[in-house]
Amino acid sequence: MNTHISSAYDRDLDAIQTLVIKMAGLVEEAIMSAAKSLEMRDTDLADRVRAGDKVIDALELQINEEAARVIALRAPVSKDLRAILTVLRIAASLERIGDYAKNMAKRTGTLVDMPVIAGSDAALRRMAREVQAMLKDILDAYLRGDVALAEDVRQRDHEIDQMYNALFREFLTFMMEDPRNITTCMHLHFMAKNVERMGDLVTNMAEQVIYLVTGEMPEEARPKGDKTAYVTDAT
């Protein structure tokens, strides 16, 4: 991409992008730490995740302010306009992902004193790692303007949904087996749901990246993998 005639304009746009990358890095870390704190029953780590969300929120605020400033001063059009719009939506998505990570960390604090549901921690962690990988890829796609990679990430949300479906059924089974598991399973289920929502938000980001590069939102309906809305029983 050619540079602007006004170099200060380029510097402004670069500065905003840097903030987004920094924010994305923090969010990635929050996802992994939340999953790890659950697996390790590490309440200190969970507390750090909860505290770290404040930094993520502050970054989103800063990105919003910077974007508003660029809109007011530079009146961006075309690709620049899309870049600013994309940044705003990506920052909002990242902030929500951060919130979900915080929520996971909160529930970890509660789960520490509860019985362990076999395999669920590792499954959640796999889910979280997958989401984190998708987030990493979508950032690469964003930085490189790589539509193919963004489309690939968008398709991968299906896998997250599958994993969530499996966990959902698993939790149902555990709860039916032993009603004392219900509290634990409900918490774990919310955590799984959080990760599943993260996947949806990453998909949104992928769509933003496609819009940023092509100027058009992808029309083709993305594969919906969350079938739990239709589940009637654990069988």
Partner 1 sequence: MKDTNMQNPKISAKGVQVYYGDNQAIKDVNVEIADKTVTAFIGPSGCGKSTFLRCLNRMNDTIDICRVTGEILIDGEDIYDAKVDPVQLRAKVGMVFQKPNPFPKSIYDNVAYGPKIHGLARNKAELDEIVEKSLRKAALWNEAKDRLDKPGTGLSGGQQQRLCIARAIATAPEILLMDEPCSALDPIATAQVEELIDELRQSYSVVIVTHSMQQAARVSQKTAFFHLGSLVEYDDTDKIFTNPQDPRTESYISGRIG
Cβ closer to partner 1: 185 or 210?
Answer: 210
- For position 119 contacting partner 1 by CB under 8 A, the verdict is no
Q: Please tell me whether residue 9 binds partner 1 under the rule CB under 8 A.
A: yes
Q: Does 79 contact partner 1 by CB under 8 A?
A: yes
Q: Are 26 and 52 in contact (CB under 8 A)?
A: yes
Nearest approach, Cβ of 62 to partner 1 (angstroms)? Answer: 24
75 binds partner 1 (CB under 8 A): yes
Residue number with CB closer to partner 1 (80 or 95): 80
Indicate the residue type of 13.
L
Per CB under 8 A, 3 contacts partner 1: yes
**Stretch binding partner 1 (CB under 8 A), from 57-65, 78-86, 163-171, 177-185:** 78-86
Q: With CA atoms as reference, report the closest residue to 94 among 124, 136, 130.
A: 136
Closest to 134 in 3D by CA, of 195, 225, 222: 195
Does residue number 81 form part of the binding site for partner 1 (CB under 8 A)?
yes
Q: Inter-axis angle of helices 78-111 and 120-144, to 10 degrees?
A: 170
For residue 101, the tally of other CB atoms under 10 A from its CB is 30
CB of 13 or CB of 117, closer to partner 1: 13
Show Cβ contacts of residue 107 under 8 Å, excluding neighbours closer than 6 positions.
Answer: 38, 187, 188, 190, 191
Binders in 210-229 for partner 1, by CB under 8 A: 215-216
- Looking at the Cβ atoms of 91 and 213, the one nearer to partner 1 is 213
CB-neighbour burial class of residue 58 (10 A; exposed 0-12, middle 13-18, buried 19+):
exposed
CB-CB contact of 94 with 27 (8 Å): yes
Residue 6 or 155: the one with the smaller Cβ distance to partner 1 is 6
Closer to partner 1 by Cβ: residue 147 or 176:
147
Determine the Cα–Cα distance for residues 64 and 24; give it in Å rounded to an integer: 15
In whole angstroms, how close is the CB of 202 to partner 1 at the nearest point? 24
- Please pick, from the candidates 66, 80, 95, 146, the single residue that binds partner 1 as defined by CB under 8 A: 80
Residues forming the site for partner 1 (CB under 8 A): 1-6, 9, 75-82, 215-216
